[in-house]
Amino acid sequence: MSLLRSQDKHPESSTNPAVLDNQFVDPEAFQFWSERKLSGYQETMRDVVVDIKDPTHLTLPERSALLERLRKLNVVVYRCQGRDFTKKDLKVLGLQLGLSRLDRNLCADGESISSVRVAESTAKTRYIPYTNQPLGWHTDGYYNNVDRTIRSFTLHCVHQAHSGGINTFLDPEIVYLLVKHRNAEYAASLTQPNVFSVPANIEDGRELRPLYTGPVFSIDPANGCLHMRYSARSRNISWNSATEIQEAVEYLKTVIEQAVEYAITHKLESGQGVICNNSLHKRTGFVNGSSVDTQRLLYRARYYDRVLGT
Ligand SMILES: [Fe+2]
Protein backbone atom coordinates (compact mmCIF):
# COMPACT_ATOMS: atom_id res chain seq x y z
CA MET A 1 0.00 0.00 0.00
CA SER A 2 1.22 3.46 -0.79
CA LEU A 3 2.55 5.36 2.17
CA LEU A 4 1.13 8.49 0.67
CA ARG A 5 -2.06 8.39 2.65
CA SER A 6 -2.47 10.97 5.34
CA GLN A 7 -3.55 9.34 8.59
CA ASP A 8 -3.06 12.28 10.81
CA LYS A 9 -4.25 15.51 9.32
CA HIS A 10 -3.07 18.90 10.38
CA PRO A 11 -5.84 21.33 11.42
CA GLU A 12 -4.97 23.57 8.47
CA SER A 13 -4.68 20.74 6.01
CA SER A 14 -8.08 21.36 4.46
CA THR A 15 -6.64 24.52 2.90
CA ASN A 16 -3.84 22.54 1.26
CA PRO A 17 -4.89 20.33 -1.64
CA ALA A 18 -1.73 18.30 -1.15
CA VAL A 19 -3.14 16.68 1.95
CA LEU A 20 -6.61 15.65 0.87
CA ASP A 21 -7.33 12.07 1.90
CA ASN A 22 -6.48 9.51 -0.74
CA GLN A 23 -5.29 12.11 -3.18
CA PHE A 24 -2.35 9.99 -4.18
CA VAL A 25 -4.26 6.75 -4.50
CA ASP A 26 -7.47 8.04 -6.11
CA PRO A 27 -6.68 9.01 -9.73
CA GLU A 28 -9.43 11.63 -9.92
CA ALA A 29 -8.39 13.28 -6.69
CA PHE A 30 -4.77 13.27 -7.85
CA GLN A 31 -5.79 14.85 -11.15
CA PHE A 32 -7.73 17.54 -9.29
CA TRP A 33 -4.79 18.25 -6.98
CA SER A 34 -2.35 18.37 -9.91
CA GLU A 35 -4.44 20.85 -11.87
CA ARG A 36 -4.80 23.05 -8.82
CA LYS A 37 -1.09 22.84 -8.06
CA LEU A 38 -0.08 23.81 -11.59
CA SER A 39 -2.68 26.55 -12.01
CA GLY A 40 -0.87 29.88 -11.90
CA TYR A 41 2.37 28.19 -10.88
CA GLN A 42 4.64 29.81 -13.43
CA GLU A 43 3.04 33.24 -13.01
CA THR A 44 3.85 33.01 -9.31
CA MET A 45 7.40 31.83 -10.11
CA ARG A 46 7.99 35.00 -12.09
CA ASP A 47 7.02 37.06 -9.04
CA VAL A 48 8.97 35.18 -6.38
CA VAL A 49 10.69 38.19 -4.76
CA VAL A 50 8.96 40.03 -1.90
CA ASP A 51 10.28 43.26 -0.39
CA ILE A 52 10.27 43.48 3.38
CA LYS A 53 11.29 46.53 5.41
CA ASP A 54 11.89 45.22 8.91
CA PRO A 55 12.44 41.46 9.34
CA THR A 56 11.57 41.71 13.01
CA HIS A 57 8.17 43.34 12.36
CA LEU A 58 6.57 42.02 9.20
CA THR A 59 3.57 44.05 8.09
CA LEU A 60 0.37 42.18 7.26
CA PRO A 61 0.78 42.74 3.50
CA GLU A 62 4.41 41.57 3.65
CA ARG A 63 3.47 38.44 5.57
CA SER A 64 0.58 37.71 3.20
CA ALA A 65 2.84 38.15 0.17
CA LEU A 66 5.41 35.73 1.61
CA LEU A 67 2.78 33.13 2.49
CA GLU A 68 1.01 33.41 -0.86
CA ARG A 69 4.20 32.42 -2.69
CA LEU A 70 5.10 29.74 -0.15
CA ARG A 71 1.65 28.14 -0.50
CA LYS A 72 2.05 27.86 -4.25
CA LEU A 73 5.81 27.30 -4.69
CA ASN A 74 7.05 26.15 -1.25
CA VAL A 75 9.72 28.83 -1.60
CA VAL A 76 9.93 32.62 -1.54
CA VAL A 77 12.79 35.11 -1.91
CA TYR A 78 12.72 38.19 0.30
CA ARG A 79 14.64 41.40 -0.22
CA CYS A 80 15.51 43.47 2.83
CA GLN A 81 17.84 46.30 2.03
CA GLY A 82 19.22 49.33 3.80
CA ARG A 83 19.90 47.73 7.17
CA ASP A 84 22.32 45.38 8.86
CA PHE A 85 20.79 41.94 9.09
CA THR A 86 21.84 39.78 12.03
CA LYS A 87 21.33 36.14 12.91
CA LYS A 88 18.83 37.30 15.49
CA ASP A 89 16.87 39.05 12.73
CA LEU A 90 16.72 35.76 10.82
CA LYS A 91 15.49 34.02 13.93
CA VAL A 92 12.75 36.59 14.58
CA LEU A 93 11.71 36.55 10.92
CA GLY A 94 11.24 32.78 11.21
CA LEU A 95 9.23 33.09 14.41
CA GLN A 96 6.67 35.28 12.64
CA LEU A 97 6.10 32.40 10.19
CA GLY A 98 5.76 29.70 12.85
CA LEU A 99 9.38 28.57 12.63
CA SER A 100 10.68 28.07 16.15
CA ARG A 101 12.25 24.63 16.50
CA LEU A 102 15.77 25.12 15.15
CA ASP A 103 17.93 22.15 14.27
CA ARG A 104 21.32 22.27 15.86
CA ASN A 105 23.58 20.74 13.24
CA LEU A 106 27.26 20.02 13.57
CA CYS A 107 28.39 23.27 11.95
CA ALA A 108 25.89 25.65 13.53
CA ASP A 109 26.91 28.02 16.27
CA GLY A 110 25.44 28.51 19.74
CA GLU A 111 22.32 30.09 18.23
CA SER A 112 21.83 27.07 15.95
CA ILE A 113 22.26 29.28 12.89
CA SER A 114 25.12 28.41 10.56
CA SER A 115 27.44 30.84 8.82
CA VAL A 116 27.84 29.19 5.44
CA ARG A 117 31.09 30.32 3.86
CA VAL A 118 34.32 28.82 2.63
CA ALA A 119 35.93 27.36 5.71
CA GLU A 120 39.62 27.47 6.43
CA SER A 121 41.14 24.05 6.96
CA THR A 122 38.85 22.82 9.69
CA ALA A 123 36.57 19.81 10.13
CA LYS A 124 33.94 21.73 8.15
CA THR A 125 35.81 21.44 4.86
CA ARG A 126 34.73 17.81 4.53
CA TYR A 127 31.23 19.21 3.98
CA ILE A 128 30.70 20.70 0.49
CA PRO A 129 28.50 23.62 1.67
CA TYR A 130 31.60 25.02 3.37
CA THR A 131 33.66 25.03 0.19
CA ASN A 132 33.23 26.93 -3.08
CA GLN A 133 32.41 23.75 -4.97
CA PRO A 134 29.10 23.24 -6.77
CA LEU A 135 26.44 21.54 -4.69
CA GLY A 136 24.07 19.14 -6.47
CA TRP A 137 20.35 18.64 -5.95
CA HIS A 138 19.40 17.74 -2.39
CA THR A 139 16.98 18.44 0.40
CA ASP A 140 18.49 19.54 3.69
CA GLY A 141 18.87 16.93 6.40
CA TYR A 142 17.90 14.01 4.11
CA TYR A 143 20.04 11.88 6.46
CA ASN A 144 18.39 13.02 9.70
CA ASN A 145 16.34 10.65 11.81
CA VAL A 146 12.58 11.23 11.66
CA ASP A 147 12.56 12.99 15.04
CA ARG A 148 14.87 15.59 13.45
CA THR A 149 13.06 15.95 10.12
CA ILE A 150 13.98 19.24 8.46
CA ARG A 151 10.69 20.71 7.25
CA SER A 152 11.95 24.17 6.32
CA PHE A 153 15.03 26.34 6.18
CA THR A 154 15.91 29.97 5.72
CA LEU A 155 19.00 31.42 4.08
CA HIS A 156 20.10 35.02 4.30
CA CYS A 157 22.83 36.43 2.06
CA VAL A 158 25.18 38.76 3.91
CA HIS A 159 27.68 38.91 1.04
CA GLN A 160 27.45 37.40 -2.41
CA ALA A 161 30.47 35.87 -4.11
CA HIS A 162 32.48 37.77 -6.69
CA SER A 163 31.04 35.35 -9.26
CA GLY A 164 28.85 32.24 -9.16
CA GLY A 165 27.06 30.85 -6.11
CA ILE A 166 23.70 30.76 -7.89
CA ASN A 167 20.91 28.76 -6.26
CA THR A 168 18.15 26.82 -7.98
CA PHE A 169 15.04 25.56 -6.17
CA LEU A 170 12.57 22.89 -7.23
CA ASP A 171 9.31 22.16 -5.45
CA PRO A 172 9.06 18.50 -4.25
CA GLU A 173 5.30 18.55 -4.94
CA ILE A 174 6.04 19.35 -8.58
CA VAL A 175 8.63 16.58 -8.77
CA TYR A 176 6.21 14.04 -7.30
CA LEU A 177 3.46 15.21 -9.61
CA LEU A 178 5.66 14.88 -12.70
CA VAL A 179 6.89 11.41 -11.73
CA LYS A 180 3.40 10.15 -10.93
CA HIS A 181 1.83 11.62 -14.05
CA ARG A 182 4.31 9.80 -16.22
CA ASN A 183 4.70 6.58 -14.24
CA ALA A 184 2.54 5.86 -11.18
CA GLU A 185 4.49 2.70 -10.34
CA TYR A 186 7.75 4.61 -10.09
CA ALA A 187 6.09 7.14 -7.81
CA ALA A 188 4.83 4.32 -5.58
CA SER A 189 8.28 2.69 -5.50
CA LEU A 190 9.79 5.93 -4.21
CA THR A 191 7.43 5.85 -1.21
CA GLN A 192 8.74 2.50 0.04
CA PRO A 193 10.31 2.66 3.52
CA ASN A 194 13.71 1.41 2.37
CA VAL A 195 14.42 3.34 -0.83
CA PHE A 196 17.80 4.57 0.39
CA SER A 197 20.17 4.48 3.35
CA VAL A 198 22.76 6.94 4.54
CA PRO A 199 25.56 5.39 6.58
CA ALA A 200 26.17 6.64 10.10
CA ASN A 201 28.49 9.62 10.41
CA ILE A 202 31.39 8.41 12.51
CA GLU A 203 34.35 10.60 13.39
CA ASP A 204 37.26 9.40 15.50
CA GLY A 205 35.25 6.37 16.56
CA ARG A 206 32.34 8.51 17.77
CA GLU A 207 28.92 8.25 16.12
CA LEU A 208 27.81 11.80 15.28
CA ARG A 209 24.67 10.64 13.46
CA PRO A 210 23.14 7.16 13.21
CA LEU A 211 22.32 5.19 10.04
CA TYR A 212 19.19 6.43 8.29
CA THR A 213 16.94 4.38 6.01
CA GLY A 214 13.76 5.75 4.46
CA PRO A 215 11.63 6.75 1.46
CA VAL A 216 12.16 9.59 -0.99
CA PHE A 217 8.52 10.70 -0.80
CA SER A 218 6.33 10.42 2.27
CA ILE A 219 3.42 12.13 3.90
CA ASP A 220 4.70 13.87 6.99
CA PRO A 221 2.50 12.72 9.91
CA ALA A 222 3.20 16.02 11.68
CA ASN A 223 1.32 18.10 9.11
CA GLY A 224 -0.08 15.84 6.38
CA CYS A 225 2.12 17.41 3.69
CA LEU A 226 4.37 15.76 1.16
CA HIS A 227 7.95 15.43 2.36
CA MET A 228 10.95 14.63 0.17
CA ARG A 229 14.42 13.37 1.04
CA TYR A 230 17.01 13.27 -1.68
CA SER A 231 20.65 13.79 -2.56
CA ALA A 232 22.13 13.56 -6.02
CA ARG A 233 25.54 12.72 -4.52
CA SER A 234 25.76 8.97 -4.94
CA ARG A 235 28.69 9.00 -2.56
CA ASN A 236 26.37 10.05 0.26
CA ILE A 237 23.52 7.65 -0.39
CA SER A 238 23.15 3.92 -0.76
CA TRP A 239 20.12 3.25 -2.99
CA ASN A 240 18.11 0.06 -2.60
CA SER A 241 19.31 -2.44 -5.21
CA ALA A 242 15.84 -3.82 -6.08
CA THR A 243 15.26 -3.42 -9.81
CA GLU A 244 11.98 -1.51 -9.51
CA ILE A 245 13.54 0.97 -7.09
CA GLN A 246 16.69 1.38 -9.19
CA GLU A 247 14.53 2.15 -12.23
CA ALA A 248 12.37 4.57 -10.26
CA VAL A 249 15.43 6.41 -8.92
CA GLU A 250 16.94 6.74 -12.39
CA TYR A 251 13.63 8.09 -13.62
CA LEU A 252 13.44 10.51 -10.70
CA LYS A 253 16.91 11.87 -11.55
CA THR A 254 15.80 12.47 -15.13
CA VAL A 255 12.61 14.23 -14.04
CA ILE A 256 14.57 16.52 -11.70
CA GLU A 257 17.08 17.42 -14.42
CA GLN A 258 14.36 18.06 -16.98
CA ALA A 259 11.98 20.07 -14.80
CA VAL A 260 13.66 23.34 -15.75
CA GLU A 261 10.38 25.10 -16.49
CA TYR A 262 9.44 24.73 -12.81
CA ALA A 263 12.88 25.46 -11.35
CA ILE A 264 13.56 28.83 -9.76
CA THR A 265 17.11 30.06 -10.32
CA HIS A 266 18.25 33.03 -8.31
CA LYS A 267 21.56 34.48 -7.22
CA LEU A 268 21.00 35.85 -3.75
CA GLU A 269 22.36 39.35 -3.43
CA SER A 270 23.43 40.98 -0.22
CA GLY A 271 20.27 41.67 1.80
CA GLN A 272 18.23 38.96 0.10
CA GLY A 273 17.17 35.64 1.54
CA VAL A 274 15.08 32.54 1.00
CA ILE A 275 12.32 30.97 3.06
CA CYS A 276 11.51 27.48 1.96
CA ASN A 277 9.63 24.31 2.97
CA ASN A 278 12.82 22.32 2.40
CA SER A 279 12.51 22.23 -1.38
CA LEU A 280 15.08 20.54 -3.53
CA HIS A 281 17.92 22.94 -4.20
CA LYS A 282 21.39 23.13 -5.70
CA ARG A 283 24.16 25.72 -5.95
CA THR A 284 26.75 26.50 -8.59
CA GLY A 285 30.40 26.79 -7.62
CA PHE A 286 31.69 30.26 -6.94
CA VAL A 287 34.76 32.45 -6.82
CA ASN A 288 35.30 34.82 -3.92
CA GLY A 289 36.87 38.23 -4.40
CA SER A 290 39.65 39.71 -2.30
CA SER A 291 37.48 42.12 -0.29
CA VAL A 292 35.20 40.89 2.51
CA ASP A 293 32.05 42.04 0.72
CA THR A 294 32.81 39.78 -2.26
CA GLN A 295 33.35 36.69 -0.09
CA ARG A 296 30.16 34.68 -0.02
CA LEU A 297 28.56 34.54 3.42
CA LEU A 298 25.09 33.17 4.09
CA TYR A 299 23.28 32.62 7.38
CA ARG A 300 21.29 29.41 7.40
CA ALA A 301 18.64 28.22 9.85
CA ARG A 302 17.02 24.78 9.61
CA TYR A 303 13.76 23.98 11.34
CA TYR A 304 11.66 21.03 12.42
CA ASP A 305 8.61 23.19 11.60
CA ARG A 306 6.96 23.78 8.25
CA VAL A 307 5.98 27.39 7.53
CA LEU A 308 2.67 27.87 9.34
CA GLY A 309 -0.35 28.06 7.08
CA THR A 310 1.36 26.65 3.99
FE1 LIG B 1 21.13 22.66 1.32
List strand residue ranges (DSSP E) for the chain, in order.
49-51, 75-79, 114-116, 135-138, 152-159, 163-164, 167-170, 196-198, 201-203, 206-209, 212-214, 217-219, 226-228, 238-239, 264-266, 272-276, 280-283, 286-287, 297-303
- Distance (angstroms) between ligand 1 centre and the Cα of 281 equals 6
- Distance (angstroms) between ligand 1 centre and the Cα of 26 equals 33
- Distance (angstroms) between ligand 1 centre and the Cα of 246 equals 24
- Distance (angstroms) between ligand 1 centre and the Cα of 156 equals 13
- Distance (angstroms) between ligand 1 centre and the Cα of 37 equals 24
Within-domain flag for 2: no
Within-domain flag for 8: no
- Distance (angstroms) between ligand 1 centre and the Cα of 38 equals 25
Within-domain flag for 83: yes
- Distance (angstroms) between ligand 1 centre and the Cα of 136 equals 9
In this prediction, residues 248-260 reach a mean pLDDT of 97
4 pLDDT more than 50: no
Report how many domains make up the chain.
1
d(Cα 184, Cα 72) in Å, to the nearest integer? 23
The domain containing residue 150 runs over which residues? 13-303
Within-domain flag for 222: yes
Q: What pLDDT digit, counting tens, does each position of 260-302 carry?
A: 999 999 999 999 999 999 999 999 999 998 888 899 999 999 9
Of 48-62, 192-206, 251-265, which range is least confident?
192-206
Within-domain flag for 308: no
d(Cα 64, Cα 71) in Å, to the nearest integer? 10
- Distance (angstroms) between ligand 1 centre and the Cα of 128 equals 10
- Distance (angstroms) between ligand 1 centre and the Cα of 278 equals 8
Q: Confidence band (pLDDT; 50, 70, 90) for 150?
A: very high
Q: Confidence band (pLDDT; 50, 70, 90) for 24?
A: low
- Distance (angstroms) between ligand 1 centre and the Cα of 300 equals 9
Tell me the CB-side half-sphere exposure of residue 142, using CA atoms within 13 A. 25
Best mean pLDDT range from 25-34, 113-122, 237-246: 237-246
Within-domain flag for 7: no
User: Which of helix, strand or coil describes residue 16?
Assistant: coil
The pLDDT, as a whole number, for residue 15 is 37
Within-domain flag for 3: no
User: Which of helix, strand or coil describes residue 135?
Assistant: strand
Contact between residue 285 and residue 164 where contact means Cβ atoms under 8 Å apart: yes
Task: Provide the CATH number for the domain around residue 288.
Answer: 3.60.130.10
122 pLDDT more than 80: no
12 pLDDT more than 60: no
Within-domain flag for 4: no
- Distance (angstroms) between ligand 1 centre and the Cα of 29 equals 32
Q: What is the mean pLDDT of the chain?
A: 88
Over the range 78-90, which residues count as b (16 or more CB within 10 Å of their CB) and which as e?
bebeeeebbbebb
DSSP H/E element including 31: helix 27-38
